């Protein structure tokens, strides 16, 4: 985790269509998942779902259809 110029906590995404991207997250969120709108995944216009593992690395879980959220 790092902090960006806007003072937001950022993590690097691993695996999936957004591998290597850095995105802001809320480290205090009790349910720390992020679903990012993406045209790079299996469902254009859908979302790519990432979650942290026990070490704090954020890994791709799956792609979601636009209507799934």
- For residues 24 and 42, the answer to whether their CB atoms sit within 8 Å is no
What's the predicted TM-score (pTM) here?
Answer: 0.87
More confident residue, 38 or 69: 38
**Tens digit of pLDDT for each residue in 11-64?**
999 999 999 999 999 988 998 899 999 888 899 899 999 999 999 999 999 999
Q: Provide the strand spans (E) within the chain.
A: 2-3, 9-14, 22-25, 34-38, 46-52, 58-64
């Amino acid at each position: 985790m790092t902090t960006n110029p806007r003072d937001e906590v950022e993590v690097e995404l691993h695996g999936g269509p957004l591998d290597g991207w850095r995105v802001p997250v809320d480290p205090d969120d009790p349910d720390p998942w992020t679903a990012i709108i993406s045209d790079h995944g299996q469902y254009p216009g859908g979302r790519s779902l990432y979650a942290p593992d026990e070490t704090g690395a954020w890994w791709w879980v799956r792609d979601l259809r636009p209507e799934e959220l």
